[in-house]
A and B are shown apart, each in its own frame.
Chain A
Amino acid sequence: MWTFGRKIAAGFALAFLLLAGIGIVAYRGINSLANTSRLVTHTHEVLEHIANVLSLVQDAETGQRGYIITGDEAFLDPYQTGIASVPSVVKELRQLTADNPNQQKRIDEAEPLISAKLAELKQTIDLRRKGNLEEATKIVHRGEGKKFMDDLRGVMIQMEREERGLLAKRAEEVGAAASSAQSTIVWGTLICLLFVTAAGFYITRSLSGQITQAVRHVESSSSELQSAANQQASGAKESSTAMNEITTTISELLATSRQIAESARRVAHVAEDTSAAARAGDQTVQKTQESVSGIKRQVDLIVTHMLDLGKKSQQIGGILEIINELAEQTNILAINATIESAGAGEAGKRFSVVADEIRKLADRVSSSTKEIRTLIEEIRAAVNTTVMATEGGTKAVDLGARQFVEVTNALNQITALLGTTTEAAREIELSTKQQSTAVEQVNVAIANVAKAARETEVSSNQTLQTATQLSGLSRELTRLIQPTASA
């Protein structure tokens, strides 16, 4: 696509070429006219010199005749002027017609005739001075002088005729050149005007279209720029606000970092104390582990005793079954004795009392054995529960012993880890101090960024104003280019 400059340059170049063509043609025509005019002038000069030559010869003859007739020297002035000027005029005529061989040839013919005529004039004048009028008259009457003059006049007429012919020819050439130049100028001007008008129309239309399109682009871009500037202004404002918040947050972070450093220092101190406490705890745990081992032995002994107690209670239960059986049999015997004593009449009454007491004792033994059985069952249940609880205790003690080992290991690990923790806390303290320094630097940087954000906000507002002005200028330019479109 051609640019504005290229199109305008092309239009001007076309106009320049047309003008240059017209100028060249006009120059050539004018030059031809000038040459032809110069040649016409030259021809006129030649004609003048031809006339001068003939006139000077005639003046010399006129003076010769007056002198011959009168003998007065005053009549010889034309003769003197003629004979003095004729050679130079002939010479000039020869120079003027140097480019014309025919005229040179005629000059060659005329020069002897001029010399002969001048010689005849001089002879007669000399004779007249010598007072020999008759001789002089005779010479005149012989007509030699006239013949020379007529021949010379004929030659001059031929030269004049040729010059006149050349003059007519050059006049025609001047007319043709003038007509050609006139036609060239007129038609060239018309063509140039046509081309320039067409080019101007095309360039104007093309440029108007392109400029209108470009202006619309500019208008659209300015609107977008306006919108972007709006967004940028809003974003810059938000950035400024965010930067203020970040500055506040960074300040809080700085305070927090300092607190962390202080806390890390305290953590290191506490970790050292804890490490000492863990070592003391390790010793305590070892002692406790020994105590737990003693408890385990005692618990094992208790379990053994409780199992023995269970076995004994089982044996008591067995014996109690026998007692119960005996009581039941005693009861039966007592009942039977009561029945028998009742059958024995009065004699059996005392025996009945004894049997009744025996039955009562058997009942009480039976109820006591029931109570004892209940107690033994409770004892056995308690023993079982105790054994189970003791076994659970044994397991718990075993577990406790294992856990004490684990606790010992854990305390050792805690001691080691506390050393690591102390180192880490010191590193944290150092790192946090470095972090605080870095955060301070970040705070300064953030303050600079906040300042830049505020400046960006101002710049965005200026950009917004510029975009608004650009949009107005675009509309103005559109109105200038296409008034109807803008309307």
Chain B
Amino acid sequence: MTGATTTSSRVAELRSEFDKSFSLPPSSQVVEQIENLLAIRVAGDPYAIRVQEISGLANNRKIVPLPSPIPELLGVASMRGGFLPVYNLEALLGYRPGTDPPRWLALCASNEPVGLAFAEFEGYLRIPLIQICAAEQRYAAHEPVKNVVRMAGMVRTVVSIPYMVEIIRKLCDDKRGLKER
């Protein structure tokens, strides 16, 4: 009886919240003060990706491996009618790659289509900007880490996608330079 009551109240709450979101006009100020993040886990550690730095999210995409001198390159995958290279975010962040293939794939919002694969997607976060701060020295052990977000007593590292793209680009340039020499 109590469980049924709780469920009914939750359904009513959801319906009310859903209707309320459409009844209020969109506020640009509020939108500007909120940062949209994707909560992920890399090698079991909590990370976050800014939604504005990616152009799409997919899962269970088939990644076709390619022979490459870059070990961080997992292969190529089809996305929105085209192919894009997929790099292992775990390897790019300096972790030793796991045995299981990453299931999630984030498309970087850059000029060159690049995909970053990771193992676990935890959810979509709307975090006030005030909770995002610069990373301390101990959290900035990796160069891509510039910010961290504190929430629910947990510190989540914010990965900079442009910086990751820059790293990939450098890797490619280095390998290409080695090949030309």
| Segment among A128-136, A249-257, A358-366 that sits at the interface with chain B | A358-366
Contact A339:B56 (CB < 8 A) given known A353-B26, A363-B123:
yes
Q: A335-B124, A350-B26, A353-B26 are in contact. Are A361 and B55 (CB under 8 A)?
A: no
Chain B residues lying within 8 Å of A335, measured Cβ to Cβ, are 38, 51, 57, 124
**B172 lies within 8 A of chain A by Cβ:** no
Residue numbers of B with Cβ under 8 A of A are 14, 18, 21-22, 26, 28, 31, 36, 38, 51-52, 54-59, 109, 123-124
In the complex, the chain B residue whose C-beta lies closest to that of A342 is B52
CB-contact partner of B59 in A328, A334, A359, under 8 A = A328
Closest to A333 in B: B57
Bound-complex Cα distance A338 to B51 (A): 9
Contact B18–A357 (Cβ < 8 Å): yes
A353 touches B59 (CB 8 A): no
Given contacts A338-B51, A353-B21, A359-B124, contact A332 B26 (CB under 8 A): no
- The residue from B51, B55, B58 contacting A332, defined by CB atoms under 8 A apart: B58
Residue of B nearest to A361 (CB): B18
A331 interface residue (CB < 8 Å to B): yes
Listed A/B pairs (17) with beta-carbon separation below 8 Å: A334-B124, A335-B51, A335-B57, A336-B57, A339-B51, A339-B52, A339-B56, A339-B57, A339-B109, A342-B52, A349-B31, A350-B26, A352-B26, A353-B21, A357-B22, A360-B18, A363-B124
Q: Which A residues, 106 to 134, have Cβ-Cβ distances below 8 Å to chain B?
A: none
Chain A residues in 8 Å Cβ range of B123: 363
In the assembled complex, how far is the CB of residue B48 from the closest CB belonging to chain A, in whole angstroms?
Answer: 14
**B56 contacts which chain A residues (CB < 8 A)?**
336, 339
Cβ-neighbour of B21 out of A328, A343, A357 (below 8 A): A357
Q: Which 5 A-B pairs have the closest CB atoms?
A: A335-B57, A336-B56, A349-B26, A357-B21, A332-B57
Q: How far is the CA of A361 from the CA of B55 in the complex (A)?
A: 22
Distance in Å: Cβ of B181 to nearest Cβ of chain A = 40
Contact A364 B124 (CB under 8 A): no
B51: chain A residues within 8 A (beta carbon): 335, 338-339, 342
* Chain A facing B: main interface SS: helix
**Contact between A338 and B36 (Cβ–Cβ < 8 Å)?**
yes
Q: Are A364 and B55 in contact (CB under 8 A)?
A: no
Distance in Å: Cβ of B21 to nearest Cβ of chain A = 5
**Which residues of A pack against B, CB within 8 Å?**
328, 331-332, 334-336, 338-339, 342-343, 349-350, 352-353, 356-357, 359-361, 363-364
- Collect the chain B residues with CB atoms within 8 Å of residue A331's CB: 124
Contacts of B58 in A (CB 8 A): 332
- Write the chain B residue with the least CB distance to A332: B57
What residues of chain A lie closer than 8 Å to B21, measured between beta carbons? 353, 356-357
Of chain B, the residue at the smallest CB distance from A331 is B124
Minimum C-beta distance from A378 to chain B (A): 12
What distance in Å separates the Cβ of A341 from its nearest Cβ neighbour in chain B?
11
CA distance A124 to B54 in the complex (A): 241
Q: Tell me the complex Cα distance, A331–B54, Å.
A: 16
CA distance A342 to B51 in the complex (A): 9
How far is it, in angstroms, between the C-alpha of A359 and the C-alpha of B14 when the chains are bound?
13
B130 to A: closest C-beta gap in Å: 20
Q: How far is the CA of A342 from the CA of B31 in the complex (A)?
A: 11
Residues from chain A with a CB closer than 8 A to the CB of B22 are 353, 357
Q: How far, in angstroms, from A349 to B14 measured CA to CA in the complex?
A: 22
B55, A339: Cβ atoms under 8 Å?
yes
From B28, which residue of chain A is reached at the shortest CB distance? A349
Q: How near does chain A come to B87, taking the closest CB pair, in angstroms? A: 19
If A335-B51, A339-B54, A353-B21 are given as contacts, then 10 extra A-B residue pairs at C-beta distance below 8 Å, sorted by A number, are A332-B57, A334-B124, A338-B124, A339-B55, A339-B57, A339-B109, A349-B28, A352-B26, A357-B18, A361-B14
Question: For the complex, what is the distance from the CA of A82 to the CA of B32, rounded to whole Å?
Answer: 233
Query: In whole angstroms, how far apart are the Cα atoms of A331 and B57 in the complex?
Result: 10
Chain B residues whose CB sits within 8 angstroms of the CB of A359 once the complex forms: 124
Q: How far is the CA of A268 from the CA of B9 in the complex (A)?
A: 73
Looking at the assembled complex, report how far the CB atom of A344 sits from the nearest CB atom of chain B, in whole angstroms.
13
Nearest-neighbour CB distance to chain B for A331, whole angstroms, equals: 7
Q: How far is the CA of A339 from the CA of B109 in the complex (A)?
A: 10
Q: Which residues of A contact B124 (CB under 8 A)?
A: 331, 334-335, 338, 359, 363
Q: List the A residue with the shortest CB-CB distance to B53.
A: A339
Residues on A with beta carbons closer than 8 Å to the beta carbon of B109 = 339
Chain B residues whose C-beta falls within 8 Å of the C-beta of A360 in the assembled complex: 18
Look across to chain A and name the residue whose beta carbon is closest to the beta carbon of B58: A332
Contacts of B55 in A (CB 8 A): 339, 343
How far is B22's CA from A131's CA once the two chains are assembled, in angstroms? Answer: 254
Residues of B within 8 A of A343 (CB): 55
Most buried by A among B31, B38, B57: B57
Nearest residue, chain A, Cβ from B54: A339
B126, closest chain A residue (CB)? A356
Q: Bound complex: CA of A227 vs CA of B26, how far in Å?
A: 133
Report the bound CA distance from A342 to B54 in whole Å.
11
Residues of A within 8 A of B57 (CB): 332, 335-336, 339
Q: How far is the CA of A456 from the CA of B53 in the complex (A)?
A: 128
